[in-house]
Amino acid sequence: MKSIPITSIEGFQIGQAQDLEGGTGVTVIINKDGATGAVDVRGGGPATRETDLLDPKNMVQKIHSVVLSGGSAFGLESSSGVVRYLKEKGVGFGMKDIIVPIVCQASLFDLSVGSSDAYPDREMGYLAAQNSEQNVFESGCKGAGTGASVGKLMGFEHSMKTGIGSAAFQIGPLKVGAIAAVNACGDIYEPDSKIRVAGIYDRETKTEIDTEQAVLQMATQAMEGMNTTICCVITNADLDQAMLTKLAGMSQNALARTIRPVHTPNDGDTVFAMTSNQVPADLTLVSVMAIQALSEAIVDAAKSATPMFGLESWSSLHQA
């Protein structure tokens, strides 16, 4: 299995746009031919669009874009810009002489970073869709990861900056990749290890605090509800929607391997999956590759982030 750029998976184009001053942004994954789509939502506080449509028993099997954004519920507006872009390109679900682009979305809460009035709007969504024509992806404080942070359990002043990340792998003609914008309640760890990457940080004492231990110590206190990890797995594997739904669910194992705690009532953890259905492949193999890719994408989102808005990051604490 070899590592490949996320942008090398044929049929998909990725674009990003952000407001660095306001601290928010949007990342768009587009398949103009229509990709089989699925979703698995585990967090207790999601902000999403068109997830019910992805139930295999419903009519639409193909989608044209997944949008990951900041802005919480306000940020859901950005997908309307993506819809407009796709309509102008003649991309969508055909109903007689009408074309309706199918765009799904999940948003994370970044309103406590930068400006609380800043969120991805239709114009930013349209710009990200336009930028996808260059098919360039940057990890770190870009796109949906612009305002992402972790470690907010003890207040924003104890959080650390994270962002968006990616990873992708190839075996023969089979390609599987993942993108993750990490704004989790829990700490970020290297997969299946005790190596902590980001979480609660006390700037006064310059010490890192374990979130799970903090939860136990704060048993009688209210928990902050500003957390979500939103992801998209993309592949060229030939899977039907039911199989792809299983893939999205199994890919949540990556969150369990890298985020502690995860899927809390305060999280909106959501994993989308999209496939261009080009390469026959075993679902178990694709799932193992997806879990590996998403695990690395989550760590990449933390390690690629830079200090912003007064928050330290892994890069500022662990690199000379």
> What is the CATH number for 288?
3.60.70.12
Q: Which among 173, 164, 148, 180 is positioned nearest to 255, based on CA atoms? A: 180
Say if 319 falls within a structural domain.
no
Q: Which among 37, 5, 9, 24 is positioned nearest to 71, based on CA atoms? A: 24
In 3-state terms, what secondary structure has residue 19?
strand
Does residue 77 have a pLDDT over 90?
Answer: yes
**Could you count the other beta carbons within 10 Å of the beta carbon of residue 95?**
8
Say if 316 falls within a structural domain.
no
Does residue 201 have a pLDDT over 70?
Answer: no
Helices 78-88 and 122-131: angle between axes, nearest 10 degrees: 50
**Could you count the other beta carbons within 10 Å of the beta carbon of residue 44?**
14
Tens of pLDDT, residue by residue over 39-67, are 999 877 788 999 988 988 887 889 999 99
Q: Are 25 and 107 in contact (CB under 8 A)?
A: no
pLDDT of 211: 61
Number of domains the chain contains: 1
Measured CA to CA, the distance from residue 143 to residue 233 in angstroms comes to 17
- Tokens representing residue 175 in the block: 């390609």
Say if 318 falls within a structural domain.
no
Say if 45 falls within a structural domain.
yes
Say if 313 falls within a structural domain.
no
Q: Which among 285, 314, 282 is positioned nearest to 299, based on CA atoms? A: 314
Say if 138 falls within a structural domain.
yes
Say if 303 falls within a structural domain.
yes
Which structural domain, as residue segments, surrounds residue 57? 2-308
Does residue 224 have a pLDDT over 70?
Answer: no
Tens of pLDDT, residue by residue over 91-149, are 998 877 888 999 999 999 998 888 889 999 999 999 999 999 999 999 999 999 999 99
Does residue 222 have a pLDDT over 50?
Answer: no
Say if 215 falls within a structural domain.
yes
